[in-house]
Amino acid sequence: MLLCDIGNTTYHFFDEHQSYKEDAELFMPSSVKEEVFYICVNKQVRELLKPLKNWIDLSEYVDRKNYYDTMGIDRIMACEAIEEGVVVDAGSAITVDIVKAGKFEGGFIYPGVRAMGECYKNISAALAYSFNFELDLDKMPKNSRDAISYGYIKLLQSEVKSYKMEIYLTGGDAFEFAKLFPASHIDEMLLFKGMKNIMKKANIC
């Protein structure tokens, strides 16, 4: 049995022993003969998978009344992975979601590191700095790099900490954000844990 998280550029597989990725443009899903339980944010790939009976869309097993209609399936699976806490998925966008007693309480979306960097760069080439995640956020900045870093990072850090809950980090920039939340839990398999929990609820594993 395989689990697969399909994004816009990759198929991310997990088979209980290892995880690995395939390029979304080059990989042929029909080459896989075993059962694959998947989630997908790529509409084009979703259409490609519909005729393949061994590819099973886990989004169909989610109790949607617990979430809002337009919420991404990747965010839902991350929330399904935990009983209580704040989930910070630091990818191309940063999503922050609150879960209390196994129930989704709401969340928000923040620009990802690269997206926000482009925003500053578009304002002025003089602001084309990388963010300093080791900045002392208890002191006001005195140089340009730290000034844009503070403006981006401080608001997010303060908001996440304000919930006074366990913090779970996942996504490509999780290790950078761990510098802001040193007591957090980094879990690169968080979405797969959520997928497994959905499968248990649906009695399909």
Q: Which sequence positions are flagged as catalytic?
A: 74
Q: Token digits for 202?
A: 């649906």
* Residues belonging to the chain: 205
Contact assessment for residue 34 and residue 1, using Cβ atoms and an 8 Å cutoff: yes
Please, which residues have CB within 8 angstroms of residue 145's CB and are 6 or more apart in sequence?
129, 130, 132
- Report the C-alpha gap between 150 and 106 in whole angstroms: 25
- Dihedral of the alpha carbons of 152, 153, 158, 163, in degrees to the nearest 10: 100
Concatenating the DSSP letter of every residue in 62-90 gives S-GGGS-TT--HHHHHHHHT-SSEEEEEE
- Report the C-alpha gap between 49 and 181 in whole angstroms: 38
In order of 9, 24, 77, 127, 192, the CA distances from 48 in angstroms are 15, 11, 22, 42, 22
Neighbours of 100 (CB within 10 A): 12
Contact assessment for residue 97 and residue 107, using Cβ atoms and an 8 Å cutoff: yes
